[in-house]
A and B are shown apart, each in its own frame.
Chain A
C-alpha cells in the first residue's frame, strides 16, 4: 500500500497548478465600498447618467439587505470595506490586435492555456470551428477577437461597458429584467459595483457563426470581481456561450459576485457552458475564492430553450444556482452540472426551474463528487404554476463520495400547483467500489488514473453536453481536482 500511496501523496502535496500572479500596473479604486466607489467606477467607465442612477439605487438598497445564510455553507464574515472594487490593467485603452497586448497579460493567458494563438490559426482554416474570446483580465475587457466576423452576422458581442455606451436602448431594456436589483444580496451588490462583463445580442433568425467565450480571471490581490453578463437571443436565434475561469494563488479570500442574465425570445436557443476552476484554497482551507453567483435565464418566447452546463471544480465556497424561468409556452430548460469538491471546499449549487408556461419541460442532471473534508450540496427547486399545463420535469441527482471525511447533501424542493404536471425526482449516493478500482488497476492503470476514469464515467452524462473545446479541459480538470483524494 505504501508504494501505491507514494504517488497519491505526491499529488496531494502538489500546489495549485494555475497559481501565479502577473505583475501588471493597475489602476485601483480606493479601497472600501461607498457611494464614492460606485461613482468612481461609473466615471471610469464613462457611463451615462441613467446607469449611474441605477448603480446608486442598487447600492442604497444593498445597504439595507442582509447576507443570506440558508445555504449549507460556512461563510466567514466578509469585510466589504477591506477590498478593492475596481482594478484596471494599465494598458492601452483599445487594442487593434493581440500583438499589441501587454506581454505580461499575454504570458498569463499562455500559462492559463487559453488557446488564443491556436484559435487565430484555426480561424484561417476553412470550415474549422471558431471561438470568439472576450478575455476579461480583472475588470476590463482587453481583447475582443473575431468582432468583425460577428458584426457581419449582425451579432453584437461587446463588453458590457461598451454596450452601455453603444447600445443603451438594448441594455436599458434587458439589464436587470431577469435578475432585478433587489433579487438577492449579492446580485444587488453586483448591480451597484459591477465592473465589466459581456453583452451579447443575437438578432432575429441568426445562428451565431461561432462559439462565444469569455475568460474570467481574478488577478489583483484583494479585488472582488463583479462581472455582469447579459445575453439576448432574439426570435429564432441560436448562440453557444462558453465561460471559463482560473485564478492565481492568493492567500486572502477573494469575493466574486457575478450576475448572468439570459433572455431567449420565440424559438431562440441559448447554450451556456461554464468550466469554473478558481483557486479553491490550500489543503487546510486557507485562501480561495468565494464564488457567489446569480445566474438566471428567462425563456420568454414560445418554444425557446436555455441549457446550462457547468463543471465546478474550483472556489473555496460556491453559491450558485443557474435557473430557468420558463414563461413561454413549450419552452425548455436544462441544467447539467458536475460539482467537485476536495480538501476544505464547500459547494452549495443547483438550479431552479420555474414553470409558468404551458407544456414547458425541464431536465436536471446533477453529479456531485465530494472528496477530502469537503461538503457538496445540491439544492434545487422545481415549481409549477397553476396555469402551467402539461409540464414535464425530470431530475436526477447523483452523489459520489471519496473518503469518509466528506459530505454529500441533496436538498430538492418540489412545488406543484397543476395536476397535469409530471414531476420525477431521483437521487443516489454511492462511492467508488473496491471492485471497480481493482478491475481498472488490474488492467494496468495506476490508482489516480483509475479514479479519474471512474469519476469521468460517473460524470459522463454532463460532460457530453459540453462543447468540444471544453469537454477535454473539463475531463482533465476532474482528474486534477481529485488528485490525492483516494489512497
Chain B
C-alpha cells in the first residue's frame, strides 16, 4: 500500500481542483476481473500491461525495452504522483529512424499500479505512440520524453477506465525544431489528472498538448498542463474541450510560460467548456506567464451551453432536438480530436467519444 499521506493538498494552487480523495478511493478498490484488452489494428509494437506488469504472451515489444526507466537529461523528478513510478518501458530511436506505431494498453484490476516510461528520439527520428487505459483502480504513470533536433512524436492517449483514477505525469523536452503532438481523450468513468510539463528547449520547437475531457455522474477529470518556451521562435497550441454532465466536474488548467530570451514565441490556448446540466461544473484557468516582450500569446476561454441559435437552425431544417444537440456536441468535441494525424487512431478516438455522448445525452 502506497503512503497516501504525502499526496498534495487542495490548498496548493496547482492542485486546487484535483480530486485527491478520488485517488485514495481508487487505490482502495477491490480487485475486478480484467476487461478485454483492445489493440487498434495498427502495425508495430504492442505492449499490454496488467496492473503495471507486462503480459509478455500478449505483447510484442519491437524496439521497446523493459526495466528501470533511466531518466536521461531530466532530473530525478519531484512530482508528487510521478515520482512513485520508476520501472516500466523505454523507447529509444536512433537518428533518422522512423518506427512503426507503438501501442500500449494498460489494464487495471483494482488497487494501484505505477509505470514509468521514457521516450527518447534522436535527431530526425519519428514515431507514433498510442496508449489506452481500461479497468478499475489507480493507474499512475510517469512519461519522460526527450526529442532531439527535428524529431517528431505523435502521442494519443485514451483514458477509458470504468472506475478508479488515472493520473498521468508527462514531462517532455524538445530540441531544436522538434515537434510533439499530444492528444488526450478522457471518456471513461474514472477520475483523471493529466499533469503535463513541456519545455521547448531548442529554437523553433513545436508543441501541441490538448484533448477532450468528457465527464458524467460524479466523475472528476482534470488537466494541468504547462508549456514552457525556453528558446526563441517556438510555437505551442493547447486546445482543450470539456463536456460536463450530471454532477461531474471538468477542470482545464493550461499555462504558457515564456522565458526571458524566448522571443518570437507564438503560444496559443483555447479552453472551452460545455455544461449539459446545471448540476455540473466546468473550471478553466488559462494562465500566461511572460518574460519576453516580442511574443504573441493569445488565449481564449469560454463556458456555456450549446448555441441556442444553432440548435434552432438545425431544428428548422427538420432535425429533432435530441439529434441536433448530439451533432453540435459531437462537433464541439471533434475540434480537439482533429489534431490526431493518423486516421485509424483518430477514428477510434472519435468512436469512443461518440459512445460516451450516446450514454450521456
The reply to whether A423 and B293 form a contact with Cβ atoms under 8 Å apart is no
A154 within 8 A of B: no
How many angstroms between the C-alpha atoms of A70 and B16 in the bound complex? Answer: 11
Task: Report the minimal beta-carbon distance from A319 to chain B, rounded to whole angstroms.
Answer: 15
* Interface of A, helix, strand, loop or mixed by DSSP: strand
How many angstroms between the C-alpha atoms of A415 and B280 in the bound complex? Answer: 11
Interface string of A404-416 (1 = CB under 8 A from B): 1111111111111
Residues of A within 8 A of B323 (CB): none
**Which 10 pairs of residues, A with B, have the shortest CB-CB distance?**
A419-B275, A401-B293, A414-B284, A425-B301, A419-B305, A410-B288, A416-B303, A431-B293, A423-B303, A407-B291
Give the residue among B279, B298, B303, B304 with the most A Cβ atoms within 10 A: B303
Given A70-B13, A419-B304, A425:B286 Cβ within 8 A: yes
Given A411-B285, A414-B283, A420-B305, A426:B292 Cβ within 8 A: no
A403 within 8 A of B: yes
A427 within 8 A of B: yes
Task: Report the minimal beta-carbon distance from B239 to chain A, rounded to whole angstroms.
Answer: 15
Task: Report the minimal beta-carbon distance from A227 to chain B, rounded to whole angstroms.
Answer: 29
Task: Report the minimal beta-carbon distance from B176 to chain A, rounded to whole angstroms.
Answer: 22
B38 within 8 A of A: no
Residues of A within 8 A of B285 (CB): 411-414
A418 within 8 A of B: yes
How many angstroms between the C-alpha atoms of A413 and B261 in the bound complex? Answer: 28
Residues of B within 8 A of A411 (CB): 285, 287-288
The reply to whether A428 and B290 form a contact with Cβ atoms under 8 Å apart is no
Residues of A within 8 A of B288 (CB): 399, 408-411, 427, 429
B295 within 8 A of A: yes
A contact residues, range = 35 or more
Residues of A within 8 A of B290 (CB): 399, 401, 407-409, 429
Residues of A within 8 A of B282 (CB): 414-416
A286 within 8 A of B: no
Tally of B interface residues using CB under 8 Å: 37
B277 within 8 A of A: yes
A386 within 8 A of B: yes
Closest to B257 in A: A409
Task: Report the minimal beta-carbon distance from B277 to chain A, rounded to whole angstroms.
Answer: 7
29 A/B residue pairs, CB under 8 Å, sorted by A: A384-B303, A404-B263, A404-B291, A406-B291, A407-B289, A407-B290, A407-B291, A408-B290, A409-B288, A411-B285, A412-B285, A412-B301, A413-B283, A413-B285, A415-B281, A416-B284, A416-B303, A419-B274, A420-B304, A421-B275, A422-B303, A424-B301, A424-B302, A426-B300, A428-B297, A429-B288, A429-B295, A429-B296, A429-B297
Task: Report the minimal beta-carbon distance from B240 to chain A, rounded to whole angstroms.
Answer: 13
A residues 377-413 in Cβ contact with B at 8 Å = 384, 386, 399, 401-413
The reply to whether A427 and B304 form a contact with Cβ atoms under 8 Å apart is no
How many angstroms between the C-alpha atoms of A413 and B252 in the bound complex? Answer: 10
Task: Report the minimal beta-carbon distance from A374 to chain B, rounded to whole angstroms.
Answer: 11
Interface string of B227-258 (1 = CB under 8 A from A): 00000000000000000000000000000000
Known: A399-B290, A405-B260, A414-B283. 5 other contacts (CB 8 A): A386-B278, A401-B292, A404-B260, A416-B273, A421-B304
Task: Report the minimal beta-carbon distance from B291 to chain A, rounded to whole angstroms.
Answer: 5
The reply to whether B277 and A419 form a contact with Cβ atoms under 8 Å apart is yes
The reply to whether B304 and A410 form a contact with Cβ atoms under 8 Å apart is no
Residues of A within 8 A of B297 (CB): 427-429
